[in-house]
Structure 1
């Protein structure tokens, strides 16, 4: 199908974000360490918890998409960190870097010569690579917006 390369290019752009809103990388850039674990009044989680939730969930979708024997974490506790703040600056940076690496790895699945966007995986309940790409993009975009809202509540967004 001649449209598939166009679809893959558009999916990659969707995963990277930035057309209609800020990217994940823009949302976390320059956030002071003292705010990474702060939970604003009336909010259920910190920016750190959102970053880790994005990392954990994206990794889960990646592994599910490429490994039929993969077992997902238990919902919901396996997808959310208990800690409100990162252990240190290295943990913060590593989580952000892992999100970028896993997103790149997922786009490599899309670009693989044998990639089939439409056929359901032999495992799961009918999911396919196209659906999982859109799921990552939707999920990450949603929580990136929450990160920006938390930053605004804390006076740390332009």
Structure 2
């Protein structure tokens, strides 16, 4: 049961727009637009989501990633990607990480602590679900403000 719950949460099922489709149909130039009324561009949100998703996945592999010295380290230096290639690679990185997290959620030992820590894989996956969900809402909001929502292959639903 917990496996299905975590997998559905990672994918955004029954809660909000499908997580793996958030960036569909958005070109790299629009991804860098920081709309009035929004603190971040879609590019900044994607970069930040990747940073922490990769961090949590490294923790799940017991790699002990180093926490950022400054919270701003988890954000890009610019609201714009430097190129279409950089944007495409970042979207691909996000989707691959989401796939890896979903695979982690299918394992049997989700309630056993990792490496003597108090947190379990299920705990860390819930942190990832919450973090991605929070920022997914910001992505939808930013895309609406720049006139890029809904994605061409999706619908208006973000619930």
Instruction: Say whether 1:72 aligns with 2:67.
Output: yes
Paired with 2:84 and 2:128, the residues of 1 have a C-alpha distance of 26
Paired with 2:65 and 2:6, the residues of 1 have a C-alpha distance of 24
* Larger RCO (CA under 8 A, 6+ residues apart): 2
Paired with 2:148 and 2:102, the residues of 1 have a C-alpha distance of 31
Q: How far off its partner does 1:121 sit?
A: 2.5
Instruction: Say whether 1:121 aligns with 2:121.
Output: no
Paired with 1:156 and 1:29, the residues of 2 have a C-alpha distance of 10
- Secondary structure of the structure 1 residue equivalent to 2:22: helix
- Secondary structure of the structure 1 residue equivalent to 2:2: helix
TM-score normalized with structure 1 length = 0.84
Q: How far off its partner does 1:68 sit?
A: 4.4
Count matched residues. Answer: 150
Larger deviation, residues 83-92 vs 33-42: 33-42
CA contact (8 A) 1:53 1:80 kept: yes
Counterpart position of 1:150? 142
Counterpart position of 2:155? none
Gaps of 5+ in 2: 151-159
Counterpart position of 1:85? 80
Gaps of 5+ in 1: 1-5
Larger deviation, residues 75-84 vs 129-138: 75-84
Aligned pairs (5 A) from 1:84-103: 84-103=79-98
